[in-house]
Copies of this chain bind each other. A is one copy, B any other.
Amino acid sequence: MEAVILLSGGLDSAVTAYQARQTLGQDGQLFPLNISYGQIHEKEKDCATRIASSLGCDLRWIFVPIHSLVKSSLTGTGKIPSKEVEGIPSTWVPQRNSIFLALAFAYAETVGAEYIYTGFNSVDYSGYPDCRSEFVSQIQIALNLASKRFIENGKEIKIVTPLMFLSKGEIIRVGLNLGVPFQDTTSCYQGREKACGVCPSCRIRLQGFKDAGRADFIEYEGDMNG
């Protein structure tokens, strides 16, 4: 069995990749794909490379200049907020997951993969509409209608979201069981050497480790990691 893995270098996608390895077994072929899009936190690519390598896979990396088409504080327009807000926050990158999934389907067609694994989750999900199950179901239908595999052989490519309904604490517990090297993941939106500990992504991560009952594996500026 073959699976394309959308591997951002973040915590969720790392747990997802390890989950895919467990589900598909050692004979399963994983094709991790990392997509840079002009985000500030470019260190994601290094993290994704290390996670892929720990799973015995080469990372496929591409750059897609989404930042030149959108306004988002993750790609340099405005400031990253220091706390969570109501509604869709400034860190949201319009259609990022749609673009990533369409590219993943294209890659899946090339390598003959039946599955696309993503770490999307809708619990501690920062208010991003393109992380919801409803969106994933609809885009799976649409992208299969543009898939040669489906049109010619009736074989769907399936988007697998093992973390969709888990909280961050639950995701971390799953990852601990699977032996995910959390020290090789990054979550901070600022992309500095150490995590800032105050951006919404750091806050959700720190709370998750607290809920999971252990300290985080990465370093924070100051002394955030209890």
Contacts and interface: CB of A to CB of B under 8 A. Distances in A.
A109 B135 contact: no
A135 B147 CA distance: 10
A198 interface: no
A125 interface: no
Nearest to A4: B69
Interface in A2-58: 33
Number of identical protomers: 2
A158 interface: no
A106 B93 CA distance: 8
A94 interface: yes
A94 B147 contact: yes
A177 interface: no
A12 B179 CA distance: 53
Interface residues of A, number: 44
Contacts of A94: 105-106, 109-110, 146-148
Interface stretch (A126-134, A161-169, A185-193, A209-217): A126-134
A58 to B, nearest CB: 13
A123 interface: no
A142 interface: yes
Interface string A140-160: 011101111001100000000
Contacts of A130: 145-146
A87 to B, nearest CB: 7
Contact of A110 (B62, B70, B97, B102): B70
A134 B151 CA distance: 12
A92 interface: yes
28 contacts: A62-B68, A66-B103, A66-B106, A69-B103, A69-B106, A69-B110, A70-B106, A92-B148, A93-B106, A94-B105, A94-B106, A94-B109, A94-B110, A94-B146, A94-B147, A95-B106, A97-B146, A98-B143, A98-B146, A99-B99, A99-B102, A102-B102, A129-B146, A129-B147, A132-B145, A135-B145, A139-B143, A139-B145
Interface of A: 33, 60, 62-66, 68-71, 87-88, 92-99, 102-103, 105-107, 109-110, 129-130, 132, 134-135, 138-139, 141-143, 145-148, 151-152
